[in-house]
Structure 1
Amino acid sequence: MPGTPKNNSKRIGTYMLALIAGIVLISSCTPVKKLAYFQSAGTREDTLTVAPAYVPTIRKGDMLSVQVSSLNAEASGYFNPAAVADNNTTLNATTNPLARQTGYLVAADGTIKLPLIGQLAVEGLTNTAASDLIASKLKVYLKEPTVIVRNTNFRISVLGEVARPSLFTIPNEQITLPEALGLAGDLTIYGRRDNVLVIRDEGNKRIFARLDMTQRETFKSPYYALRPNDIIYVEPGKARATSVDRAYIIAPVITGVLSLLAIIATRR
């Protein structure tokens, strides 16, 4: 005997729900191997020879913070620019990098201009070397001067399939690729860990380097340690496109199920 309308509606509803569940399961499976970082060949302990630590040098366009101290605090204050009070000027990884900053801009000729000292060529120097150079010039005016030079616009950008894409200011001027991804909240489940793009400007060249974060060889890459103005882009994987397609597939199916059940219900 043919089933009653009520039984038919239950049966159809069960079939359709099973179909939807099957679509979701089939299209959302991502192998664990594609998600794990720094995989090895299976040994318990590995040792890698990594690239030398990156030591940043001063470049044109850098904004340098120069803090001077000596036995005469009042005289030292003459060389320190007045701080700008602003809600956004705290220097940390979450600072708005476009907020107003005090300091000395490295000009196109690679120099900065300091009170009394005048112009100093600092391009290509490390912060330590620049500090020593400025301190040597200040000995004419100050007793036992101490100088600390910092780059206040050491910035990196993290874009793509990460939890919090943003532009980050790095106060200690040292950051690695995993640390940058950590600042951005790590990759989403849809981000390709095997093809992370680092974009870097060197002179008049723009370099595009791709790193496989699932392999330990990443530690040996010259792009593991990031430099000022590096851009990190995390490419979406196939699962991202699948998740979008799934929404377009499931929505009509659910609508059809509801419409069918409504028709059956009205014919009881």
Structure 2
Amino acid sequence: MINFKNTLQKISLLIASVLASSCATSKEIIYFQDEPISAEQNAVMNAEITYKPNDLIFISIGGDADAVAPFNLPAVSYSTSSLSANADLKMPTYLIDKNGNIEYPVLGSVKLGGLTREQATMFLKNQIGAYVKDPVINIRLLNFTITVLGEVKNPGTFTIENERVSLTQALGMAGDLTIYGKRDNVFLIREQGNKKVYTKFDLTKISTITSPNYYLEQNDVLVIEPNPAKIRSASYNQNNGVIISAVGTLATIIAIFLVK
């Protein structure tokens, strides 16, 4: 004889445990929950990126047109089709090689790897200043990209135009973490030289914004792990929903008979 009362209790406990395991507390969801940072901790927020191998940069020199002409590569005209009469101008760019160098007109091999934008500007200004009076240097990094993967609304690779992006801005570009993202375990993967460096962020703590890695570098990858509820739900298939619904219906029927 089936003990309906005992069976009903077991089903109720099962449903309750499933519901409890899927719940999240505010401490798992809310960003930056602790005390504000001090003035001394703000210093790290002024960090600048440095140029690396495989960076694609645009450099233009302003000043007297005739004097600066040898230092500016001409824009390249190209068309997307051999049958097209229209052509676009492609601005000249320089690719930093594995040793951090570029080949620059007149100056020859120039090392920009490891320099910030300000340092590279001053370096070129001093070098070209030997030939041109008061040259105006404009440098721009064209392929500053970051990648955000995992539990965000819009994962993907993003190109940054202003050469400066913070961890929180990058997550904002990706549409923020979903409710299933682990906010205390966000991973950063960064290439430094010939090795990869891994950093973990805890977005529930305000101290995250004082991390030396809070401002991202080109080609950084952020990975947001799913929380346990998401992992458990991933193990279910469409049939499990039907089964759970059937179990609920069965529990209701049993309860009706017990009442009678």
TM over 0.5: same fold?
yes
Alignment of 1:218-229 (within 5 A): 218-229=208-219
The unaligned stretches of length 5 or more in structure 1 are 1-17, 88-99, 259-268
Contact in 2 for aligned 1:122/1:130 (Cα 8 Å): yes
Find 2:56's aligned residue among 45, 50, 63. 63
Question: 1:105-144 to 2 correspondence within 5 Å?
Answer: 105-139=95-129, 142-144=132-134
3-state SS, counterpart of residue 124 of structure 2: helix
Letter in 1 for 2:100: G
Taking the aligned partners of 1:121 and 1:76, their CA distance within structure 2 comes to 21
Partner of 2:177, secondary structure, is coil
The alpha-carbon distance between structure 1 residues 101 and 153, as it changes in their structure 2 partners (threshold 3 A), is farther
Tell me, yes or no, if structure 1 residue 195 matches structure 2 residue 189. no
Whether contact under 8 Å (1:24, 1:246) holds in the other structure is: no
8 Å CA contact 1:191, 1:236 repeated in 2: yes
Out of 172, 181, 195, the position equivalent to 2:171 is 181
Letter in 1 for 2:243: P
Task: Please state how far the C-alpha of 1:234 moved relative to its aligned partner.
Answer: 0.1
In 2, Cα distance between the equivalents of 1:257 and 1:85?
Answer: 67
* Cα separation, partners in 2 of 1:162 and 1:150, compared to 1, 3 Å: same
Deviation string 1:2-21 (CA, Å, 9 cap, x unpaired) is xxxxxxxxxxxxxxxx9999
Deviation at 1:79, TM superposition (A): 0.4
Distance 1:193 1:145 in 2: 48
- In the alignment of these two chains, the number of paired residues is 227
| Higher mean displacement: 221-230 or 29-38 | 221-230
Contact 1:127–1:149 (CA under 8 A) maintained in structure 2: yes
Tell me the percent identity.
34
CA contact (8 A) 1:161 1:191 kept: yes
Assess, with a 3 A threshold, how the Cα gap between structure 1 residues 75 and 211 changes in structure 2: closer, same or farther.
Answer: closer
Which structure has greater strand proportion? Answer: 2
Unmatched tracts of structure 2, length 5 or more: 1-11, 81-89, 250-260
Structure-2 separation of matches of 1:24 and 1:71: 74
The answer to whether the aligner puts 1:240 opposite 2:230 as a matched pair is yes
Change (3 A) 1:145 1:185: same
Question: TM-score scaled by structure 2?
Answer: 0.73
Please give the TM-score of this superposition, normalised by the length of structure 1: 0.71
Tell me how far apart the structure 2 counterparts of residues 196 and 101 of structure 1 sit (CA, whole Å). Answer: 37
The Cα of 1:123 is off from its aligned counterpart by 2.0
Residue of structure 2 equivalent to 1:168:
158
Name the counterpart of 2:243: 252
Q: Residues 86, 143 of structure 1: CA spacing in aligned structure 2 closer, same or farther, 3 A cutoff?
A: farther
CA separation of 1:159/1:74 partners in 2, compared to 1, >3 Å: closer, same or farther?
same
Residue of structure 2 in register with 1:104 after alignment: 94
1:145 to 131, 135, 148: 135
Describe the shift of the 1:202–1:68 C-alpha distance in structure 2 as closer, same or farther (beyond 3 A). same
| Whole-angstrom CA distance in 2 between matches of 1:85 and 1:163 | 38
Q: Measured at CA, do residues 172 and 28 of structure 1 come closer, stay the same or move farther in structure 2, by a change above 3 Å?
A: same
Structure 2 SS opposite 1:113: strand
Deviation at 1:163, TM superposition (A): 0.8
CA RMSD of aligned residues (A): 3.4
Flag the 1:35–1:58 CA change in 2: closer, same or farther, 3 A.
same
Q: Which is worse superposed, 127-136 or 58-67? A: 127-136
